[in-house]
Structure 1
Amino acid sequence: MTNEEFHLLKYPIGELNIPQNSTSQQISEWINEIEQFPEAVVALTKNLSNEQLNWIYRPEGWTIKQVVHHCSDSHMNSLIRFKLALTEDMPTIKPYYEDRWAKLVDGNSNDLNYSLMLLKGLHAKLVILLRSLTPNDLKRQYIHPEHGKRFSLEQTIYIYAWHSKHHLAHIKQALKHKGEF
């Protein structure tokens, strides 16, 4: 496998490229994508066997079940980041080792029900919050110490819309290739 082929498997929708400016229409579209994500995951995974849940989306990549569990973990952190930025002045968020979390017992369970319930609840709460944001709220920021950068809530909405599509593409990719690379 070439580096280019590996890169396409790792980033099937392209790498994250955060826009510096966006329109209210774009923000609304991103929020809609975030809202639809849990049901899209359910639709893709509801009839999968344990064998299929263990298919990987690329060489050395996570299994389908790890991707689903990761999304609930990641989006739980997302909701917290939004709330911190809305209630504190330029908070520094806490990063976490997602690769280590994916190896924990709950990240390897064949039972997706709890992570899917969590995703549904998180996204419902998140969408209510996101749709209430004012233009000033969208400019509020937090500091991500891992990157040494500030991120606005406007940018963060985009990041999680991209993240949702990115991992949906991973699940589809694993299913397409039946976990064989």
Structure 2
Amino acid sequence: MENIDLEKLKYPIGKFIAPEDYTSEYISNKIKEIESFPERLKSETTHLTDEQLDTPYRPNGWTVRQVIHHCAESHMNCYIRIKWALTENNPVIKAYDEVLWSDLPDGLKMPIEPTITLLEGLHYRLGYIMRNLSESHLEKSFIHPSNNSENKIQQIIGTYAWHGNHHLAHITTLKKYKNWK
């Protein structure tokens, strides 16, 4: 991996770019990406060995195992944040330190199968709630305390579709580089 640009390893599909307009077609496509993420992740990872799962996707990066567990943790937070935004008036959400979370025993050592199962149920719920949002619901928001930014649900849908694709690309890029099947 030493010949590959580190920025390209960090952001293999680029950074998230918000669209100028959150059309119903854009939202629908992103929801489909969110709904299909667990199956795409499962097909790329469940056959990997422990040695492969414990390989970092880039120098000083998370292992494949940590990436998988991180996706579940991050997307659980997404689900809760959406629920807060739908039930409270522009709440300030609780941030978490994803790096510290990834270094806990479950992130470092736990098998991936329970996390894949969790993602399947979670993404079903995410898709279900997202598909049933009205236009006014899509405008609801929460405040992220790290930068005091307002995050509308429509943006969160785009961001988390990107997030899943981003981390899946970490894994597929590593697999291609290592010539893993």
Q: Which TM-score band applies after superposition, normalised by the shorter structure?
A: over 0.9
Give the TM-score, by structure 1 length: 0.94
5+ unaligned residues in a row in structure 2: which ranges? none
Shift of 1:108: 1.1
Q: Deviations over 1:49-95 (max 9, x none)?
A: 01110111111111000000000000000000000000000001111
Q: How does 1:26-175 map to 2 (within 5 A)?
A: 26-175=26-175
- For the residues of structure 1 that align with 2:55 and 2:110, how far apart are their CA atoms? 12
User: What is the one-letter code of the residue matched to 2:5?
Assistant: E
SS at match of 2:16: coil
Shift of 1:173: 1.5
SS at match of 2:103: coil
Match of 1:11 in 2: 11
Conserved 8 A contact 2:70-2:102: yes
Aligned structure 1 segments of 4 or more residues deviating by more than 4 angstroms: none
Conserved 8 A contact 1:55-1:178: no
Shift of 1:45: 0.7
SS at match of 2:44: helix
- For the residues of structure 2 that align with 1:78 and 1:20, how far apart are their CA atoms? 22
Conserved 8 A contact 1:53-1:65: yes
How many residues are aligned here?
178
Shift of 1:176: 1.9
Inter-CA distance 103–70: structure 2 relative to 1 (3 Å threshold) = same
Give the TM-score, by structure 2 length: 0.94
User: What is the one-letter code of the residue matched to 1:15?
Assistant: K
Shift of 1:22: 1.4
SS at match of 1:130: helix
User: Identity over the aligned pairs, expressed in percent?
Assistant: 45
5+ unaligned residues in a row in structure 1: which ranges? none
Shift of 1:27: 0.3
Aligned-pair Cα RMSD in Å: 1.5
